[in-house]
Chain A
């Protein structure tokens, strides 16, 4: 951490120098276009996830700008809070809610994009002109000493926050609590929307009234002395196979095919054989060969 701060201080200006050092100017001309490119990329990329990643670029460069301007605490807060927490929150919500996150190509309002572009350019020009005119004769104050506790570090900021800005700081505490509660309440799924859950008695009555496919649950697999695999079919009282006990997922197991209706003894026999085939399968023979064997018999 300290080495990072020192790296920021190398770029940051120290007292008794010109308003902007050459190093700072170089950093500005490298990172400034990067920030603008990130912002433009965020606005003009169709995929919302890519937009979020472009915004991360802009926020990281802004964090470095804070470091350069002797605001080391804010710079690290920017990187940790914005690119670390806020953008990850955005990405989570995008993954959950932004399935069809690419924008529609059609304009909802005719000529809206052109009007927005004109507005953006005009706004930027007006703002820049006002800034340049108003700051023409500004005397830039000597920069704060970044190594002193009153600089841009946590010490100086903390002193100000807990003296002059104590009341707003307490208000932010209330704001954060309210926001956390609001997030929980708003994001919570409302149980009442999911319909009334039936009690067990109501469920039984509905089953015997014929609202369901069958009154009972589906039979489980057969459990015999020779095998209790889930692929073993259950047998009905007359020895025939209970079709409901065959799972769709393991339909292809040879056991289920080979058992034939006539007698439960024969069913047991073939189930035993199938067990043996199962054991051989482990040696590398694929399931297709066992299927072939089954069809030969």
Chain B
């Protein structure tokens, strides 16, 4: 086993997250799938740092965590306000920008 197994695992998790974004209809679950994709990228960044023997990859993963936290706050607030006006968290119901 070599460290690149982690990269393969990360690729697999990223693909599962992408499929989840495409398949699920609940906005909150779609958001969780995006979190999964961010996490898998973090795993690959940490693994790259280990392969390189430096800490830069870990710093990148740290910044990704910060951005993900900010994104979660804003995204969940948007979902909440949409839910308040339309009484639904389904992404099929949100079509005002359609036409």
Contacts and interface: CB of A to CB of B under 8 A. Distances in A.
Contacts of A179: 69-71, 73-74
B16 A43 contact: yes
Interface residue SS majority, chain B:
helix
B80 A187 contact: yes
Interface string B23-54: 11110110111011001101100110111111
With a 10 A CB-CB cut-off, give which of A77, A93, A96 has the most chain B CB atoms: A93
Given A65-B43, A69-B46, A152 B79 contact: no
B18 A55 contact: no
Interface residues of B, number: 72
Contact of A108 (B28, B55, B92): B92
Interface of A: 19-20, 24-25, 28, 32, 35-36, 39-40, 42-43, 48, 51-52, 55, 58-59, 62, 65-66, 69-71, 73-74, 77-78, 81-82, 85-86, 89-90, 93-94, 96-98, 100-104, 108, 112-113, 115-117, 119-121, 123-124, 127-128, 131-132, 135, 138, 140-144, 150, 152, 156-157, 160-161, 164-165, 168, 172, 175-176, 178-180, 182-183, 185-187, 189
Interface of B: 1-9, 11-20, 22-26, 28-29, 31-33, 35-36, 39-40, 42-43, 46-47, 49-56, 58-59, 61-63, 65-74, 76-81, 83-84, 88-90, 92
Given A36-B12, A186-B81, 18 more contacts: A39-B16, A42-B36, A52-B32, A73-B58, A78-B42, A86-B72, A89-B76, A90-B28, A90-B32, A93-B28, A101-B28, A120-B22, A132-B4, A150-B55, A157-B59, A179-B73, A182-B73, A183-B74
